[in-house]
Chain A
């Protein structure tokens, strides 16, 4: 098995919001490997940097430091041809399907656009290809002349997926692909993704705040907090036996556990601090229930813990204590 995508110490800074203000480090040294044909689930709350990681991978924004290698080629040093191939083989599926489609274009033109851009088909072949793609994502050909606003959310997401598939990609970046959809529609789209993954041998980078969606699709899971991966490992292990207190809080936040669960104290207090005021030492220490339990050891405030562990790693000074 070989790595399709490899991120090494990727950092992304944004300029300060006000002149002279602190710079904003949205992603702070992320290492991540997506194997050929595998699905990597990246989970985290707003401000965790998970979407910024995706934007760096798709070259929608340039990483400040670190390297991103696609199929063994470092994209920061790649030539035009390699960049173009990567553009073709890496596609994105958005959270807001309706916003991801140009409101002035009809379905046919939307699906044809990437094919035309990459000069993959024209004329009759182009029309045939568009029909085939729509069929593949389960869209009726009667919708071909509709505008996005005339489609339901689920139908729009199918169009987005058809566009993503059109260039024959190997990696799909799915940024909250179902969080704007209803439950039944979400199930339909997840089923479609599973089917397409099998049929085309696709790899996914799945980004979501919803652990149940992540757990359903992923082989490996990475948990992000304030720009860092705080835990990483095989999906089942991370969900069944989380090592980082933050992951434990996320797992503990899933609902459907009965009314009594609402009388227990909340798994976490407070809110994620802003990215321009990252706490010293372990960035999670301000909200960490484990630290409080252990009597606030000093190391949490002074030392920044690294990801430790072989296949299943956590960035916590006391990961072993909690297990």
Chain B
């Protein structure tokens, strides 16, 4: 079976005054199967959000992207705008971190969802209203008909997030991109939303690109995980294996930095230094300056290589235990 989405050497540069001002993505390689949930994790500035936006080509105006993003056999980066519009929001949809700002405050929720159906599926008003009510019920909003009449400010944060998920699944997408969908929510609410996403995915079989900074969360939700560092995938593999036995020293550093894994009150093993900025052009491995396992060979950047079935890592010393 072919992959639903395959990203090949995706590079994204920010341009200012006609010159490349910074490199945001330096060659991302990803493959996502049908019905699969893949987690993209990394710290601020690693490029995880931009990777997600690139897939629907919602790029910043001052950015240029090269490489290939093949979705269902077609390269998203070269599609004409018209065809792209028919994919966005329909075949590929997105759930954002802050539902409050993702709705237009002057239209009732129901109308905004209906617009999507009327635009993408050419539905009539009555038909779209029926379908919206049905989907609002699917995301477990009480009394869907009434909820449709509410304006965004009349709904709680949890209800808005449900409404946004409803909007995302209206046209039965084959890929859902979720960018930190629970980060802005209270923990007990986040639990409800996660379960909802999981059950909807089970029911409809769409693939999920789950973008998050939270390793534990990604580990629970996703089948596979890709770890990003400075605009590149440095490790990927099945979630259950990768998070239990990480190969890349950066992935290990991330896991060890979680207070949950440490004895209370003791210093956490935190690697020093910080993520290189998009301006720098590191020669060799970008993590080398911070890496406890660094060797002279690291001056040549290690390629992302499959070292065990399903496990890829971009490190020469992945076998060294720490």
Q: CB–CB under 8 A between A and B in the complex?
A: yes
A binding-site residues for B, Cβ under 8 Å: 45-46, 152-154, 182-188, 190-191, 194-195, 209, 212-213, 215-218, 235-236, 249-250, 253-259, 261-263, 265-269, 271-272
Contact across chains for A271 and B195 when beta carbons are under 8 A apart:
no
Distance in Å from the Cβ of A50 to the closest Cβ of chain B? Answer: 12
Contact across chains for B219 and A256 when beta carbons are under 8 A apart:
yes
Distance in Å from the Cβ of A301 to the closest Cβ of chain B? Answer: 21
Contact across chains for B220 and A184 when beta carbons are under 8 A apart:
no
Distance in Å from the Cβ of A264 to the closest Cβ of chain B? Answer: 8
B267 contacts chain A at the CB level, 8 A cutoff: yes
Residue of A nearest to B187 (CB): A253
B126 contacts chain A at the CB level, 8 A cutoff: no
**Cα–Cα distance between A184 and B215 once the two chains are bound (Å):** 12
**Cα–Cα distance between A258 and B216 once the two chains are bound (Å):** 9
Contact across chains for A235 and B264 when beta carbons are under 8 A apart:
yes
Contact across chains for A262 and B156 when beta carbons are under 8 A apart:
no
Distance in Å from the Cβ of B219 to the closest Cβ of chain A? Answer: 6
Asked, given contacts A183-B254, A262-B195, whether A271 binds B220 with beta carbons under 8 Å apart, the answer is no
Contact across chains for B188 and A216 when beta carbons are under 8 A apart:
no
Asked, given contacts A262-B195, A262-B198, whether A253 binds B190 with beta carbons under 8 Å apart, the answer is yes
**Cα–Cα distance between A190 and B172 once the two chains are bound (Å):** 44
Distance in Å from the Cβ of A46 to the closest Cβ of chain B? Answer: 6
Q: Please give, as numbers and ranges, the residues of chain A lying within 8 Å of B266 by CB-CB distance.
A: 194
Q: Please give, as numbers and ranges, the residues of chain B lying within 8 Å of A194 by CB-CB distance.
A: 265-267
B61 contacts chain A at the CB level, 8 A cutoff: no
* Given A255-B220, A256-B216, A267-B188, 19 more pairs with CB closer than 8 A: A45-B187, A182-B43, A182-B44, A190-B259, A194-B265, A194-B266, A209-B186, A216-B262, A216-B268, A235-B264, A249-B188, A253-B190, A256-B219, A256-B220, A256-B260, A258-B220, A261-B220, A263-B198, A268-B191
Residue of B nearest to A183 (CB): B257
Distance in Å from the Cβ of B224 to the closest Cβ of chain A? Answer: 12
B67 contacts chain A at the CB level, 8 A cutoff: no
Contact across chains for A187 and B259 when beta carbons are under 8 A apart:
yes
Distance in Å from the Cβ of A218 to the closest Cβ of chain B? Answer: 8
Ranked nearest first, the 7 interchain pairs of A and B with the lowest CB-CB distance are A256-B216, A187-B270, A187-B257, A216-B259, A45-B186, A255-B216, A182-B43
